Amino acid sequence: MERTVTVLVYSDDVNTREQVRMAAGRRPAADLPPIEYLECATLPAVLTALEQGGVDACVLDGEAVPAGGMGVCRQIKDEIFDCPPVLVLIGRPQDAWLASWSRAEAAVPHPVDPTELTNALTGLLRSVLAAPA
């Protein structure tokens, strides 16, 4: 069976989660294994999924409520051992500093631009796959 990578997508908005899935697709680059998406609508679901392990990267919605993706990112970077890399969706370009504060490895503006999101996510996944086990 072919290896897959797991991408956790967090947003309280089902449409945002769908936009992320549709933008990156099942296999965003030929050199990457297929993606399996793990969708989470709440902070407790994110924490449970990360504690169970097996997540290769996260996409967090910075505009999610009540727990925004940038705050969630900062929390998981503090609390989850060997936290996977995180891409945050930011509401406006001026929020890039907040993404940096959150310790996210990448940030792209919302609404989702498929090319920008795919490029950022493939970069994160390549870094994960290149890292020694």
Average pLDDT, the chain: 95
Check residue 92 and give its pLDDT. Answer: 86
Check residue 1 and give its pLDDT. Answer: 64
Strand partners, 57: 7
Check residue 31 and give its pLDDT. Answer: 94
Q: Of 94, 92, 90, whose CA–CA distance to 108 is shortest?
A: 90
Check residue 93 and give its pLDDT. Answer: 83
Question: At 133, is the pLDDT very low, low, confident or very high (cuts 50, 70, 90)?
Answer: low
Between 93 and 112, residue with greater pLDDT: 112
Check residue 120 and give its pLDDT. Answer: 97
Model pLDDT for residues 96-130, shown as the tens digit of each residue: 888 999 999 999 999 999 999 999 999 999 999 99
